[in-house]
């Protein structure tokens, strides 16, 4: 039998993404990109808090040593900035994001095992122009973005790092495949000639690959957008198990809870018809499932 995730919080985000567990807050944080919000869910009280932000937040990272101000590193649509949840404002803009490229915005991002932030872009016109015009970038303590991969992307997603930090997982969602890159953990650089296709969606299946996370055994969990499920992929690139959802479009996953044994799943209701929303009223909400035999690892923090 395939296990089914249950509703955690009925947030009904337009585009929920980038769930991250905060050990300090004991909350699950995530963004609603199109809703221009950052959310926090407390599993103990089953309550949530949200912050309206000035621009669309594509992703974020926790910041090491920033607990006094609840500081986040947020990749807004056109910049990467330090943001204070307590003050609900941008503290400092660190760098612009693809200011010289039209129609792209910041999308999926994640801190590597050494505390650098890796972020991918999204060509918002890719359905019309078909161009892989966005990029994959790295932000480190220099506070400047450096291009990490020379090959362009249409919809950058699925960024995750192996337990030892030597592999970077990534997907350009329209390609329906997950790539693995050899990643130099010491320098924060990618060996593009060592790129391999880690997993490819079967041709007869609908949907796209979306956000991912690595568990304590080194397996990759990925949201299968359009199929209403999350899959766990072994290091050999084989599907190990599936988690079903009562909505069709999961976007990203994260491990959380006191023991990191709960899988949280963000979803979207963007581009769904009125008929589809009537059928799936909780689309866009936060879902969860308690796992009995698998745990996650703590999310890496950005190091200034």
Q: Around 101, how many Cα atoms within 13 Å sit in the side-chain half-sphere?
A: 22
Has 157 been labeled as part of a binding site?
yes
Beta-sheet strand order (sheet of 117-123): 104-111, 117-123, 134-139, 145-153
Q: How far apart are CA 107 and CA 120, in angstroms?
A: 6
Has 105 been labeled as part of a binding site?
yes
- What is the pairing mode between strands 3-4 and 239-244? parallel
Catalytic residue among 112, 172, 210, 261: 210
SS3 221: strand
For residue 210, indicate whether it is catalytic: yes
SS3 128: helix
Kindly report the number of other CB atoms within 10 A of residue 44's CB atom.
9
Beta-sheet strand order (sheet of 239-244): 3-4, 239-244, 229-233, 220-225, 208-214
Q: How far is residue 276 from each of residues 90, 225, 246, 270, measured CA to CA in Å?
A: 37, 15, 12, 11
Q: Around 172, how many Cα atoms within 13 Å sit in the side-chain half-sphere?
A: 17
Has 210 been labeled as part of a binding site?
yes
Has 301 been labeled as part of a binding site?
no
- What is the pairing mode between strands 57-62 and 37-42? unpaired
As annotated, the binding site for a divalent metal cation includes: 17, 157, 210
As annotated, the binding site for substrate includes: 105, 107
As annotated, the binding site includes: 17, 105, 107, 157, 210
**Would you please indicate which residues are annotated as catalytic (active-site) residues?**
210
């Amino acid at each position: 039998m395939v296990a089914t995730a249950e509703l955690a919080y009925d947030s009904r985000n337009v585009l929920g993404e980038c769930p991250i567990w905060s050990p300090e807050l004991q909350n699950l944080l995530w963004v609603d990109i199109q809703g221009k919000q950052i959310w926090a869910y407390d599993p103990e009280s089953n309550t949530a808090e949200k912050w309206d932000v000035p621009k669309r937040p594509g992703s974020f990272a926790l910041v090491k040593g920033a607990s006094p101000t609840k500081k986040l590193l947020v990749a807004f649509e056109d910049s990467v900035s330090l943001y204070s949840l307590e003050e609900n404002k941008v503290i400092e803009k660190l760098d612009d994001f693809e200011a010289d490229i039209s129609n792209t915005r910041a999308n999926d991002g994640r801190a590597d095992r050494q505390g650098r932030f890796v972020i991918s872009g999204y060509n918002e016109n890719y359905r019309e122009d078909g161009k892989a015009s966005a990029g994959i970038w790295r932000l480190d303590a220099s506070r400047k973005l450096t291009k990490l991969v020379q090959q362009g992307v249409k919809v950058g997603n699925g960024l995750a790092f192996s337990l030892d930090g030597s592999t970077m997982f990534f997907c350009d969602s329209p390609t329906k495949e997950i790539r693995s890159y050899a990643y130099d953990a010491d320098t924060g650089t990618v060996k593009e000639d060592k790129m391999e296709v880690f997993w490819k969606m079967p041709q007869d299946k609908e949907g796209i690959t979306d956000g991912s996370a690595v568990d304590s055994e080194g397996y990759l969990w990925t949201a299968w957008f359009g199929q209403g499920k999350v899959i766990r992929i072994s290091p050999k690139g084989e599907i190990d198990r599936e988690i079903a959802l009562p909505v069709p479009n999961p976007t990203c996953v994260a491990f959380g809870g006191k023991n990191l044994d709960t899988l949280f799943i963000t979803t979207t209701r963007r581009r769904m018809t009125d008929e589809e929303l009537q059928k799936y009223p909780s689309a866009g909400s936060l879902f969860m499932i308690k796992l009995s035999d698998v745990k996650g690892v703590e999310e890496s923090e950005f190091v200034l």
